[in-house]
A and B are shown apart, each in its own frame.
Chain A
Amino acid sequence: MKLFQSIKKIGIVISIPVGVFVVLTFLTQIQGISLFAHAGHVQTFVRSTTIISFTAWALALNLQSGRFDFSLGSMAILSSIIGTQITINYGLPAFSLIFVIVFISGLLGLFSGLVYITLKLAPIITSVGVMLIYEALTFVLTDGQGLLISTQFDLLVLPSTRNLLIILLVGFAIVYFIMNHTQFGYNHKALQHGQEIAVNTGLPEKRNAILTYMLAGMLMGVVGFINMTTQGFTGVSLNFTSISAMFIAFLPMFIGGYIGRFSEERFGIFIGSLTMGLVTLGFVRLDLPRQTQEFVNALLLLAFLTYLNNQGRLKLIFAFRKKSVNHSK
């Protein structure tokens, strides 16, 4: 009986990516091409999966505690610009780039968290302010030009398929460990599910919030690193343009929440991201125009939310409670 249940759980967990894989294979076969034709396609798939996983982990950290963080995208951009410039200017070894960027994005996350706990304003407000500042700093620091490293060959070889897989695995292990086996993780969960009670029993909410922002920042640093080294170029964002980076992560986050019922949540997000990675590769192989990509992604998100709702599970997995807590009382 137990064995049967385990098999059922595994079945549910892998059904989504396998289903998407089958559909995409069918669609590409019709056009007479195959989804994975050469190593470049594997790399595209691994890269998208990694970028989306890290973004979705970061997004979920705060959003599932009811905090929406607009600054995620801007942290990735700003940390990668500063980190890369430091690495180049001080002649640091190429492999240290990711550590420098992640360190800086951790600092940016720390600042974000400090602004939040100091001003004690709704996170949606503080993060709009912080995002505007980070975006503007990318402009001010690079004189509006962004950063181009397309001739820094030792940095450009970093995002190889092998390295990306290592980053993905190590990232997952770290996030998994932090959320499931540390005091921070326990507290985070307690605060997520019952903020007022948790605070009344003496949990250090502020410290937990700051660490959460820092962790989210560091995860976005990895995204910044991958984008910078893959594209060889990071442009300047102004006027809220950096927020689009997180939209791609919503669907994986929900899939993660759903799968999390049957396994571990971070793992669920990874499976969700893997699914989106396949979809992204599908777009590349089918050569779909961008508006179609966006439209398909949005419809997938809606369809999945509808499905979850019919399953009556949405409320269980998503702690986006009505705002019973507000300033007005």
Chain B
Amino acid sequence: MNKCLNKIGLLVFSLLLIGLLAACNGDSDPQTNGVDNGANEEQDQGPTQKIGVQIYDATDSELIAFRRYYQDYIEDNYNVEFLFSDSLDTAEAERTSTENFINQGVAAIISFSDSDRMSVIQMTEDAGVYYAIGAGTLSDEQLDMLSDNEYFVGSIGPSLAEEEEVGYDMAKHYIEQGYTNFLLYAGGYPFVDMHLMRTHGMIRALEEVGVTYNAREDGQIGTFESDEYTINTVYGFPDDSGAFFGTVAERVNEPGLEVILTAGLGVEFFGTALAQSGQDIRMGTVASFEDAYYEGFSAGQVDYLAGKFSSSIGPIFAAVYNAINGDMEVVRNNGNPFRIDQGYWIATNVDEFNEMYEMSNSTENPAYTKELLDMVIKSENPDTDYDNFESFVQSYSFDEITNLQD
């Protein structure tokens, strides 16, 4: 008898548990609405607009910083709610996330994921949802294909040429200072486009000073030859056997090494090996203005950073916000979707870094504040137009933004 009661109890409990989950939502809804309402008194006429954000990696620190800017700053200042996807590492996952966003009734999707972008753009057009690229770029051919897509807003981000330039500048920075012994980290070369382009930039800078680069047939990073310069390479990502970090430690401990140039993930993968080696080695990297690099600069591990700042995704929001407000024409480039380059902030010493770091990580006073963004949002500034928007995006450097704020 008792046994039977136990079982009934368990079944009831199971239903209760599921019900409880449903109740959680009921409780939390008014709360979030409350916050929104408080912050948006003047914009409270319409319901909160949902914007889906697709990310390739939920654990990437740059994307986490982006998320903080959208959820802690933009949501408080505009009548919008951001829904973030899980990590999207396949075209299948990207499609699933797009389906789910459409089903949840988003007005637009801002994407930081590129598994099969053109298919997603097709899906959003069919569903009447705006789509914008938050980081990255499209080829001329792709842009042509999208010219009559009413729902494709545009793209802001470093072009591949820009990525190449960043690698070039970084390598040149050290070559000009007379360093001759380098370790190049090529990251996901040749699979990850941005790592590939940055590495090509570094190679170009080295070739300019007489280094011969021998490419490999299988597409992996090749070898260097030079009398004056010594260049070693590492590529790939950590594994479970410890082979990757074994290789990293081996290369970092090569006698005579002066500079590590990384196409990404500098402190993450090389900081420890540097600390353990005890040598005085410089490191330049492309990453973002986040805590890890703050520590890295303070400890003297990094002294050159080309990085994204958290609110660099402010302008793409402004464009999307115009679109969902029905003011698409102010972000139309002669009636076509826009494609605007946006580069990196570059810090070449700890003081520069700290200044940029502070502005990048502030949620009270980020680089792109509401006041700045409102300049290109038509509902706030009826005089704005596309040219206005384009030059606004292109003035991305630290100094230009500081000037705008003043």
Q: Is chain B in direct contact with chain A in the complex (CB below 8 A)?
A: yes
Q: Which residues of B contact A111 (CB under 8 A)?
A: none
Nearest CB in chain B to that of A55: its residue: B240
Contact B268 A280 (CB under 8 A): no
With A150-B267, A151-B298, A289-B220: A280-B246 Cβ-Cβ less than 8 Å: yes
Taking a contact as CB atoms closer than 8 A, the residue among B87, B243, B292, B295 that contacts A280 in the complex is B243
| Chain A 51-75 interface mask (CB, 8 Å, partner B; 1/0) | 1100000000000000000000000
Q: Establish whether residues B242 and A233, one from each chain, have CB atoms under 8 Å apart when the complex forms.
A: no
- A43 on the B face (CB < 8 A): yes
Give B50-104 interface residues, CB cut-off 8 Å to A: 58-59, 61, 64, 86-87
A245-B240, A284-B250 given as contacts; is B59 within 8 A of A151 (CB)?
Answer: no
- The main secondary structure of chain B at its interface with chain A is helix
**Contact A139 B58, beta carbon cutoff 8 Å:** yes
B128 contacts the other chain (Cβ, under 8 Å)? no
Known: A51-B242, A150-B301, A151-B298. A232 touches B275 (CB 8 A): yes
Give the residue name and chain of the B residue nearest to A50 (CB).
B242
State whether B241 touches A150 (Cβ < 8 A). Answer: no
Closest chain B residue, CB of each to CB of A48: B242
Rounded to whole angstroms, the CA-CA distance of A171 and B367 in the bound complex is 52
Q: Which residues of B contact A238 (CB under 8 A)?
A: 58-59, 86-87
Tell me, in angstroms, the Cα distance from A38 to B58 when the chains sit together: 39
B240 with A44: CB separation less than 8 A: no
CB < 8 Å: which of A41, A153, A230, A290 contacts B242? Answer: A230
User: Which residues of chain A have C-beta atoms less than 8 A from B86's C-beta?
Assistant: 238-239
Q: Which residues of B contact A41 (CB under 8 A)?
A: 246, 250
Chain B residue nearest to A154 (CB atoms) is B275
Q: Is A107 an interface residue (CB 8 A)?
A: no
Q: Distance in Å from the Cβ of B391 to the closest Cβ of chain A?
A: 35
Q: With an 8 A cutoff between CB atoms, is A247 at the interface?
A: yes
Determine how close the nearest CB of chain A comes to the CB of B319; give it in whole angstroms.
26
Using CB atoms, name the residue of chain B closest to A242. Answer: B240
User: What 1/0 mask marks residues of chain A from 288 to 319 whose CB sits below 8 Å from any chain B CB?
Assistant: 01100100010000000000000000000000
Do A230 and B241 have beta carbons less than 8 Å apart?
no
Nearest-neighbour CB distance to chain A for B186, whole angstroms, equals 13
Check B245 for interface membership: any CB of A closer than 8 A.
yes
A145 contacts B by Cβ under 8 Å: yes
**Residues B272 and A230 in contact, CB atoms below 8 Å apart:** yes
Q: Evaluate whether A40 and B245 lie within 8 angstroms (CB atoms) in the complex, with A157-B276, A236-B59, A238-B59 already known.
A: no
Distance in angstroms between the alpha carbons of A293 and B242 in the assembled complex: 12
Known: A148-B292, A280-B241. A232 touches B249 (CB 8 A): no
Contact A144 B247 (CB under 8 A): no
Q: Is the CB of B239 within 8 A of A290?
A: yes
At the interface, yes or no: A281 with Cβ under 8 Å from chain B? yes
- Assess the B295–A151 pair: CB atoms within 8 A: yes
A290 and B295 form a contact (CB under 8 A): no
B366 proximity list for chain A (CB < 8 A): none
Residues of A within 8 A of B59 (CB): 139, 144-146, 235-236, 238
The verdict on A47 contacting chain B, using a C-beta distance below 8 Å, is yes
Residue numbers in B under 8 Å from A253 (CB-CB): none
Residues of A within 8 A of B269 (CB): 231, 233
CB under 8 Å from chain A, chain B span 83-141? 86-87
Q: Are A247 and B240 in contact (CB under 8 A)?
A: yes
Query: Which residue of B64, B237, B240, B275 has the most chain A CB atoms within 10 A of its CB atom?
Result: B240
Tell me if B247 and A231 are in contact (CB < 8 A).
Answer: no
Q: Per-residue 0/1 for B295-328: is the Cβ within 8 Å of any A Cβ (1 yes, 0 no)?
A: 1101101000000000000000000000000000
> Which residues of chain A have C-beta atoms less than 8 A from B301's C-beta?
150-151
Q: CA separation between A239 and B85, bound complex, in Å?
A: 14
B contact residues, range: 35 or more
Tally of chain A residues near chain B (CB < 8 A): 43
Q: Which residue in chain A gives the minimum CB-CB distance to B270?
A: A150
* Cα of A263 to Cα of B376 in the assembled complex, Å: 76
A148–B246 CB distance below 8 A:
no
| Interface residue A167 (Cβ < 8 Å from any Cβ of B) | no
> CA A247 – CA B239 in complex, angstroms?
11
Q: Which of A222-271 contact B (CB under 8 A)?
A: 230-233, 235-236, 238-239, 244-245, 247-248
Q: Which residue of A lies closest to B290 (CB)?
A: A145
Among residues of B, the one whose C-beta sits closest to the C-beta of A146 is B59
- Is B268 a contact partner of A150 (Cβ separation < 8 A)? yes
Question: Is residue B38 contacting chain A, with contact meaning CB distance below 8 A?
Answer: no
Closest to A149 in B: B272
B56 to chain A, nearest CB (A): 13
- Bound Cα distance from A143 to B276, whole angstroms: 28
CB-based contact B249/A43 at 8 Å: yes
B292, A231: Cβ atoms closer than 8 Å:
no
A248: contacting residue among B241, B246, B276, CB under 8 A: B241
Q: Closest CB of chain B to A59's CB: distance in Å? A: 13
The answer to the question of B256 belonging to the interface, with a C-beta cut-off of 8 Å to chain A, is no
For A236, list chain B residues within 8 Å (CB): 58-59
Question: In whole Å, how far is A85's beta carbon from the nearest beta carbon of chain B?
Answer: 14
Instruction: Indicate if the CB atoms of B275 and A44 lie closer than 8 Å.
Output: no
Contacting residues of chain A (112-168) with chain B, CB-CB under 8 angstroms: 139, 143-146, 148-151, 153, 156-157
Closest 7 CB pairs of A and B: A232-B272, A150-B271, A44-B246, A151-B299, A236-B59, A151-B295, A284-B246
Binding site for A on B (CB under 8 A): 58-59, 61, 64, 86-87, 220, 236-243, 245-247, 249-250, 253, 267-269, 271-272, 274-276, 291-292, 295-296, 298-299, 301
Known: A47-B242, A238-B87. 11 other contacts (CB 8 A): A48-B243, A144-B59, A145-B64, A148-B271, A150-B268, A151-B271, A151-B295, A231-B245, A231-B272, A232-B275, A236-B59
10 contacts between A and B (CB under 8 A): A47-B242, A139-B59, A144-B59, A148-B291, A153-B299, A231-B269, A244-B240, A280-B246, A290-B237, A293-B243
